[in-house]
Structure 1
Amino acid sequence: MVEPAKNLNNQTVVIKSEKVSSPWLEAWKGFKKNKLAVVGACIVLFFIILAIFAPIIAPSGFNEHEYGKTLQPPSSEHWFGTDDFGRDILSRVIFGARVSLWVGFFSVLGSIVIGCALGIIAGYYGKWVDTIISRFFDIMLAFPSILLAIAIVAVLGPSLQNALIAIAIINVPNFGRLIRSKVLSVKQEEYIMAAKALGMNDSRILFKHILPNSIAPIIVQGTLAIATAIIECAALGFLGLGAQPPTAEWGKMLADSRQYLIQAPWTMIFPGLAIMLTVLGFNLMGDGLRDALDPKMKN
């Protein structure tokens, strides 16, 4: 931006002022420079498009049977082949993207909401409140996450919704501990002290000052956690504790096809590739976001 001004001798001079860029815009520029992160974002976007437009993109319904064409290899008619019920595997993989992404997004969203609420309270108020919440997180982290998820689903009953709840619960400590550590450092900043001195109430300090300045690591962790949630959803489906037949879910597809590994390997290869590519996409995107949002990673 160029601004005219006058000096003491009444002569016009030109003052150039640089345009101020927001931290989020700088992060976006940094993210775009990371080629692997962009590739990961494209993979994620591809599967999101598949999930949204599955009924239009899929060549057939996910539960349409052709009993005369069971275990057919990939061909021009069925690009990914057919399963033991004559169902088109490509269609089931496409519809399976809906299930996996739905569980991944909403389970992580639930974990963020609950974990951040507990972590903010623990970090801001401290003392016995912090002790109780921190010990609760420690107890949950003492159990292997997948075993805890299996136990929760076993109590609630096998279903996709209960698998989502279980995955959300087991990821709560990860977000809670992360936001707690961030709040402990942010609340010592001078502007927080000034807000308290001005008589600003706690809720306003938390939601207007502390939370916005603690959100960057949550975005990164949330992106990486979606990849983990998709794997956990597939694991529960493989064990028969997640999606139930005839729902098209990648983990359940792997479980149903394991007996045909030698006879018809394509029934396991394509659902496995879908899981691998989706998780890879979220991991690459999460690494790119970490590099873009973390000041320590910037030159």
Structure 2
Amino acid sequence: MAEIASNIPPILPEQVPVAEETAISPWKEAWKSFKKNKLAIVGLSIVTFFVLLAIVAPLIAPYEFADQKLSDKHLAPSGEHWFGTDEFGRDILSRIIYGSRISLWVGFISVAGSVFAGSFLGIIAGYYGKWVDTIISRVFDIILAFPSILLAIAVVSVLGPSLQNALVAIAIINVPTFGRLLRSRVLSVKEEEYITAAKAIGMKDSRILIHHILPNSLAPIIVQGTLAIATAIIECAALGFLGMGAQAPTPEWGKMLADSRAFILQAPWTVLFPGLAIMLTVLGFNLMGDGLRDALDPRMKN
């Protein structure tokens, strides 16, 4: 028996069969959770529709947005003009299709500028603290002390009314939102053990910020950025309605509302369809932003 036992080879730990565990990426898990949210999918569908509309605008618009035909002014919706015409005989459907380009462009570009500037200032304030944090935080407090639309009007008044200046104004008023968000995130992340270890081995601050702190702060930026695009579209429309944004004949939805408000009883379709375009676009981004928040925030998961 002793000889038989001695001839049996020992079972090494690495030879023991172990069930393989498939590691799921956090982003794949977030997408899986996002797909389960029906309202979020509706929002994504609406946003995708308007993005595609903006991309193929020259191909599907039945008329040029600036074509005028005074003999066709204020025509009711029909087979020739699905959304009717305005006071200059311009096709409203074509102007709304081209207007999607302007609204989405302002939304994406202004929010991108806000994210870049706000993230930079917020990370610097949260990581270095002390007097740097005090100065940057007080600047954020000053900007947030003013109602956003009034501050945007003030900025455009100084720079001059135009679509580009409206974009700059919208970007400026949204900087504190991302700055304070990143500052609070950095204050919690920089106390983690891996940040302490990175400092202990002599890693440069710039490398720590770019390779460790910023990647761990992307989730709240994505959620807030999506919601901020909806806000930017509303603010762009508000500035256009007040004559501080896009100028004629640019087919910006807020400007279209402003030009048609005098004919709301005579030709209600001139106000109805641009207003619906604004409402649907903002609704889409809000639904998608809520879905991203639920998918990326661990506290929202069961």
Give the TM-score normalised by structure 1.
Answer: 0.96
Instruction: Trace 1:27-46 onto structure 2 (pairs within 5 A).
Output: 27-46=30-49
Q: AA paired with 1:262? A: L
What CA deviation, in whole Å up to 9, does each residue of 1:9-66 have, x standing for no partner? 99x8643212101100100000000000000000000000011111001101100112
Aligned to 2:242: 239
- Residue in structure 1 matching 2:61, options 39, 58, 61: 58
Matched residue, 2:138: 135
> Between Structure 1 and Structure 2, how many residues are aligned?
293
The structural deviation recorded for 1:8 is: 2.0
* Structural mapping, 1:54-203, within 5 Å: 54-203=57-206
Secondary structure in 2 matching 1:15: coil
SS in 1 for 2:227: helix
1:231 partner letter: I
In structure 2, runs of 5+ residues without a counterpart are 1-8
Query: Are 2:284 and 1:251 aligned?
Result: no
CA gap of 1:250–1:195, structure 2 versus 1, over 3 A, is same
* Percent of aligned positions that are identical: 75
Q: Which has the larger radius of gyration?
A: 2
Equivalent AA in structure 2 for residue 170 of structure 1 = I
Q: Secondary structure at the match of 2:18?
A: strand
Match of 2:222 among 212, 219, 224: 219
* Whole-Å separation in 1 of the counterparts to 2:289 and 2:222: 8
Q: How high is the TM-score relative to the length of structure 2?
A: 0.95
Whole-angstrom distance in 2 between the partners of 1:112 and 1:65: 40
Which residue of 261, 267, 271 maps to 1:264?
A: 267
Distance in 1 (alpha carbons) for counterparts of 2:300 and 2:39: 16
**Counterpart amino acid of residue 279 in structure 2:** M
Q: List, as ranges, runs of 4+ consecutive aligned residues in structure 1 with deviation greater than 4 Å.
A: none
The verdict on how the C-alpha distance between 1:208 and 1:246 changes in structure 2, with shifts beyond 3 A counting, is same
Secondary structure, counterpart of 1:196 in structure 2: helix
- Structure 1 residue runs without a partner (length 5+): 1-5
Is the 1:7–1:13 Cα contact (8 Å) retained in structure 2?
Answer: no
